[in-house]
Amino acid sequence: MSKRIFTGDLATKEMRAIAEDSSIQTIWDRKLKQEPHCGFGTLGICCKNCNLGPCRIDPFGEGAQCGVCGADADVIAARNLLRHIAAGSACHNDHGREIIKTLLLASTGKAPGYKINDAVKLERFAKEYGLETSGKDVNKLAEELAERLFKEYGQQSGELMLTNRAPKKQIDIWRVNNLMPRGIDREVTEALARTNIGVDNDYRSIMMQGMRTALSDGWGGSMIATDLSDILFGSPEPLRAKANLGVLKDDQVNIIVHGHVPILSDAIATASVDPALIQLAKDKGASGINLAGICCTALEVLSRKGVSVAGNFLQQELALITGAVDLMIVDLQCVMPSLPSIASCFHTKVVSTNPRAHFPGSVYIEFHEEKGMEIARNIITMAIENFPKRDKSRVHIPKESRDLVGGFTTEYIFKMLGGNYRSTFSPLNEAIISGRIRGVAGVVGCDNPKLKSGETHITLVKELIRKDVLVVQTGCAATACAKEGLLVPEAAFKYAGKGLQEICAAVGCPPVLHLGPCVDNSRILTACCEMVKEGGIGKSLDELPVAGAAPEWMSEKAIAIGWYFVASGAMVVFGNPYPLHGSHNLTKFVTEEVESVTGGKWAFEPDPIQMAKIIIEHIDKKRQALKLKPMMYP
Ligand code: BF8
C-alpha cells in the first residue's frame, strides 16, 4: 500500500487505499492530475463565448485587460457566472418538469405504477394555483394542476405563483428591483441570450438576471419538484436509516440507485420488496435484496421509504470498488462518467436510464413512467441474475455505517413543535426570541476532493450546534454529517450547546434536521416563510437570524441554490469561491453591494471554524437588529 494519507471518513479512507492498491483511478487521482488548476478559469476571467477568442484577462494588470470584443474582466466573469446559474437552475427546473409529467400520466391512468399519495397536500397546492378543488375527483384535480404547472414553465410574463408564499416585504423587494421571475423556462433562456457576445455588457445587470433566474429555480422548479414529489410519493415523516458504505451486504443482492429524480428510484424501492423478486434472489443463493442509494435520489427514497444511504457524491466510485454491488442504476446529475469503466473491473452492471444522460459502457434501459414498475422489476431481475457472478474473493465492504433520522419537512416541523392538535412554528420562534436557540443555519451542498472530503461539513456543523445554532441540511452535506452520527437526537447531548440541547430534549429531535435532497432546499425557503409568518423575528427573510453554507460545493446547481437564497435575503458562505475573483467589481457586488438590493450577500471562506464564525456573527447581527434577548447560555 502507498504512503499516501487519505482524507475522509474511515470507510472512504479504507476504500481509497483499496482503489490505489488495485490501480483503479478515482476522482482524487484525476484531481491530482489536473493540478494546478487553470488560474484564469479559477478567477473567472477566460471567455470562450465566441470565436473571436478564446480570450483571457491578465490578472496582474500588465497584459490584455479586455477580450477581442472589448469585454473586460467584470463582464466576462459575470457572464460566466450567469451561465453557471442558468445551467444549475435548468437542472432543477427540468427535474420539476419530469415530476409534473409523471403527475399528469398518473392522474390520467397512463402510468399505473404511480398514484396520488398525499391528497391533502394536492388540494392545498392546487388552491395556491387558484384551482377549484371542492367536490373534485383527486385525479381530475391532479390533471388540472399538472396542466397549470406546465403553463408556468412556458409563461412569458407575470409572476411565478409560489412566490406568493414569501412574506409581503420580500415580494416587494423582488418587484421593486425587477427580480420577480416571470416564467420558469423564460429566465434560463434569457440568461443564455444575455450572455451571448455583445448582448448584456453591464455586470450588475447580468447579475440581476442571475438572481431572477435563480429565483425561478428556488421558488419555481425546485419548489414544484418538492411539493409534487410529496403529493406523488408521499410526504416524508421522520424515520431511521443508516448511512455509509457499510450498509452494503455481503450475502444479499446489492442494488444502488444513483442520481436525482425520484420517479425511477421510487419504483425500484417498491419493486425491491416484491416477495416474488426476493424469492428469486434466494433461488440464486442470496439471502435477500438490499437497496441503497448514492447522491440525492438516495435521499428521496431515504426520506420516504427509509432506504439507507450508501454514500455521497465522492463515494460513488468507492461503492463499486467494494466489488459487492451487483447493479447500479443511474438517472442524471452528479453521476461520474467513470462509473462504467470502474464497474468493468468487477461483475457490476451499470444501468443508465434517462434519455438526457447517456454513459458509454453502461447498459441503457430507457425509463418510461407508463411502464415504470415493469422496468423496475426487469432491472432488479438483472441485478439478481448478476449476483452469482460476484467474485467473493474481491468483495471488500467497510464496516462503517451510522444511524440517522431523515424525513423532516416544513409541515412536519409544525407538527413536531406543536403536537398533533396545535401545529405551530411558535416554539421555534420563541426559542430564538428567548435566546435558547441563536438562529438557524442551512448547511447544504456537495462534497469536493479539493477539501477534506466531508470533514469541512462536520467541523462546521459541530461548531454551529455547539453555539446553539439549529442546523438544517440537504444533499451530500447531510450524508457527510449523517456518517458522523450528527443526525440523531442523541447527538444533541454530545455536541450541542445547552440551549439547543433543551429544545432537542423537549421536542425529541436531532440538533441537525435532514430535509432531503438538494431540490428540497425549497423546504428551507418555506420554513423561513413560516418563521416570518409566526412573527417576532422579522418581516422578511433578510431580517431572520438565519444563514446558509455550502462548504464543499462543486456543482453549478449549488451556485443556483446559493443565489436563490441570496436573492431571498440570506447570507450564504461557500468554502471555495466560485470563479469571480478576477473581477474586483463583481466580487464587491456579490459580497457587499447586493446586500443593499436583497438583504442577502455572499462570503467565501474555506476554513470551517472561520466559516462558523462568519455565520454566527451574521446571526448575532440580525438578533441585535431585532432587539432579541441575549443568548441564555452564552
Ligand atoms: O443535487 S449535493 S454532489 S448529489 S449537487 Fe450532487 Fe452536490 Fe451531492 Fe445532489 Ni446537490
Assign 533 a pLDDT band (cuts: 50, 70, 90).
very high
Residue 460 beta carbon below 6 angstroms from any ligand 1 atom: no
Q: Which residue has the higher pLDDT, 7 or 567?
A: 567
Work out which ligand 1 atom sits closest to the CA atom of 334: 6
Res 581 pLDDT > 90: yes
Instruction: Write down the pLDDT at residue 417.
Output: 78
Q: Return the best residue to mutate from 518, 520, 521, 564 for the ligand 1 pocket (most ligand atoms within 8 A of CB).
A: 518
Res 201 pLDDT > 90: yes
**Alpha-carbon torsion (69, 74, 78, 80), positive or negative:** positive
Work out which ligand 1 atom sits closest to the CA atom of 444: 2
Residue 555 beta carbon below 6 angstroms from any ligand 1 atom: yes
Over residues 288-302, mean pLDDT = 98
Q: Quote the percentage of the chain above a pLDDT of 70.
A: 99
* Domains 73-233 and 245-394 agree in fold: no
Over residues 232-241, mean pLDDT = 97
Residue 446 beta carbon below 6 angstroms from any ligand 1 atom: yes
**Alpha-carbon torsion (552, 338, 326, 399), positive or negative:** negative
Work out which ligand 1 atom sits closest to the CA atom of 475: 2
Residue 313 beta carbon below 6 angstroms from any ligand 1 atom: yes
Of 100-104, 450-454, 589-593, the least confident: 450-454
Instruction: Write down the pLDDT at residue 35.
Output: 96
Architecture of domain 73-233: Up-down Bundle (1.20)
Distance between CA 603 and CA 588 in Å, rounded? 11
Give me the CATH code for the 404-626 domain, please: 3.40.50.2030
Instruction: Write down the pLDDT at residue 287.
Output: 98
313 C-alpha to ligand 1 centroid (Å): 7
Nearest protein CA to atom 7 of ligand 1, as residue: 446
Give me the CATH code for the 245-394 domain, please: 3.40.50.2030
pTM: 0.97
Res 3 pLDDT > 70: no
Residue 479 beta carbon below 6 angstroms from any ligand 1 atom: no
Residue 259 beta carbon below 6 angstroms from any ligand 1 atom: no
Residue 295 beta carbon below 6 angstroms from any ligand 1 atom: yes
Give the H/E segment covering residue 350: strand 349-352
Work out which ligand 1 atom sits closest to the CA atom of 446: 7
Q: Quote the percentage of the chain above a pLDDT of 90.
A: 95
Over residues 610-621, mean pLDDT = 98
List the domain boundaries for the chain: 73-233, 245-394, 404-626
Q: Return the best residue to mutate from 257, 258, 333 for the ligand 1 pocket (most ligand atoms within 8 A of CB).
A: 333
Instruction: Write down the pLDDT at residue 424.
Output: 77
Of 23-37, 222-236, 449-463, the least confident: 449-463
Residue 334 beta carbon below 6 angstroms from any ligand 1 atom: yes
446 C-alpha to ligand 1 centroid (Å): 5
Res 94 pLDDT > 70: yes
Assign 195 a pLDDT band (cuts: 50, 70, 90).
very high
For residue 336, give the DSSP letter. -
What residues contact residue 245 under an 8 Å CB cut-off, 6+ apart? Answer: 11, 12, 15, 310, 311, 315, 318, 319, 322, 397, 398, 400, 401
Over residues 131-155, mean pLDDT = 97
How much of the chain is in helix, strand and coil states, percent to nearest 5? 50, 10, 35
Average pLDDT, the chain: 96
Residue 278 beta carbon below 6 angstroms from any ligand 1 atom: no
Residue 40 beta carbon below 6 angstroms from any ligand 1 atom: no
Nearest protein CA to atom 1 of ligand 1, as residue: 518
Of 58-62, 74-78, 588-592, the least confident: 58-62
Instruction: Write down the pLDDT at residue 414.
Output: 82
Instruction: Write down the pLDDT at residue 439.
Output: 97
Distance between CA 542 and CA 170 in Å, rounded? 8
Instruction: Write down the pLDDT at residue 419.
Output: 63
Chain segment 148-159, per-residue pLDDT in tens: 999 999 999 999
Res 232 pLDDT > 50: yes
Residue 92 beta carbon below 6 angstroms from any ligand 1 atom: no
3-state secondary structure 433-498: HHCCCCEEEEECCCCCCCCCCCHHHHHHHHHHHHCCEEEEECHHHHHHHHCCCCCCCCHHHHHCCH
Instruction: Write down the pLDDT at residue 4.
Output: 73
Instruction: Write down the pLDDT at residue 451.
Output: 87
Work out which ligand 1 atom sits closest to the CA atom of 554: 7
445 C-alpha to ligand 1 centroid (Å): 6
Work out which ligand 1 atom sits closest to the CA atom of 553: 7
Instruction: Write down the pLDDT at residue 1.
Output: 45
Over residues 364-381, mean pLDDT = 97
Over residues 174-203, mean pLDDT = 98
104 C-alpha to ligand 1 centroid (Å): 27
Chain segment 470-520, per-residue pLDDT in tens: 999 999 999 999 999 999 999 999 999 999 999 999 999 999 999 999 999
